[in-house]
């Protein structure tokens, strides 16, 4: 079984509400307004942001589209777009899990909805590509989760049949999509819970 990790919310810490409260405190003044702002900006990661993840819209165009759609000042939207890659910091527990799996000669990969500028930043700032055998960023293949196509692309790239792939993602819709594509999948909450699930289902590799 080859293990495939999502990035934001799994390998990297991701708390969009906290980010908005920090970057736009004049808009995200309480929990309700933060939730409303998050919904307006990100559209549940659909709409404008899905095109950014897909690699079909540039950052400047994204800012213009969101500002026009929401009425937010472009300078505020730009501040959020710029802050996100810096807010994505590695989760030490997940990184340790990745390294333990690789030490046991288990193939370890990633599959992430990630705009091209953010993918470039994460690779440069954290060297995260070296943690894995290979991986797929959505913007580089112009397909996104939970669409079936990206799971087909990833399986071909990883040289595996769908049933040989185990996906860890924090978004239930992506877990369901992976399962529909024939993959095994776990809803990720913490690295500790994920490792326990790997053992429980017999997916943890034996030492060589």
Pairing of strands 2-5, 165-169: parallel
At 207, is the pLDDT very low, low, confident or very high (cuts 50, 70, 90)?
Answer: low
Tell me the range of 36-45, 169-178, 198-207 where mean pLDDT is highest: 169-178
For the chain, give every domain's residue range: 2-13+89-200, 16-87
The residue count for the chain: 208
The domain at 2-13+89-200 falls in which architecture? 3-Layer(aba) Sandwich (3.40)
**Non-local CB neighbours of 2 within 8 Å, separated by 6+ positions:** 106, 107, 108, 109, 158, 160, 164, 165, 166
Contact 99, 131 (CB under 8 A): yes
Work out the average pLDDT over 86-98.
97
- The answer for 159, left when phi > 0, alpha when psi is -120 to 50, beta otherwise, is left
- What tokens appear for 59 in the block? 């950052």
CA distances (Å), origin 167, targets 1, 45, 48, 55, 86: 10, 19, 26, 22, 25
Q: pTM of the predicted model, to two decimals? A: 0.94
Q: Which of 116, 96, 117 is nearest to 108 (CA)?
A: 96
Pairing of strands 134-137, 165-169: unpaired
**Residue range 143-187, pLDDT digits in tens:** 999 999 999 999 999 999 999 999 999 999 999 999 999 999 999
């Amino acid at each position: 079984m080859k293990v495939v990790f999502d990035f934001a919310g799994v390998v990297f810490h991701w708390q969009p509400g906290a980010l908005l409260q920090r970057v736009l405190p004049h808009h995200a003044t309480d929990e309700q307004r933060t939730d409303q702002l998050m919904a307006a900006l990100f559209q549940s990661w659909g709409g404008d942001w899905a095109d950014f993840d897909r690699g079909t819209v540039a950052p400047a165009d994204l800012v213009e589209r969101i500002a026009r759609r929401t009425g937010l000042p472009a300078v505020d939207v730009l501040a959020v777009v710029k802050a996100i890659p810096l807010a994505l910091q590695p989760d030490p527990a997940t990184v340790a899990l990745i390294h333990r799996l690789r030490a046991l000669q288990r193939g370890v990969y990633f599959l992430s909805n990630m705009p091209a500028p953010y993918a470039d930043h994460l690779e440069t700032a954290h060297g995260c590509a070296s943690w894995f055998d290979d991986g797929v960023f959505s913007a580089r293949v112009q397909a996104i989760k939970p669409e079936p196509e990206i799971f087909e692309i990833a399986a071909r790239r990883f040289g595996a049949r769908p049933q040989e792939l185990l996906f860890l993602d924090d978004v239930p819709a992506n877990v369901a999509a992976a399962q529909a594509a024939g993959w095994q999948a776990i809803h990720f909450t913490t690295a500790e819970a994920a490792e326990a699930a790997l053992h429980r289902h017999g997916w943890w590799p034996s030492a060589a």
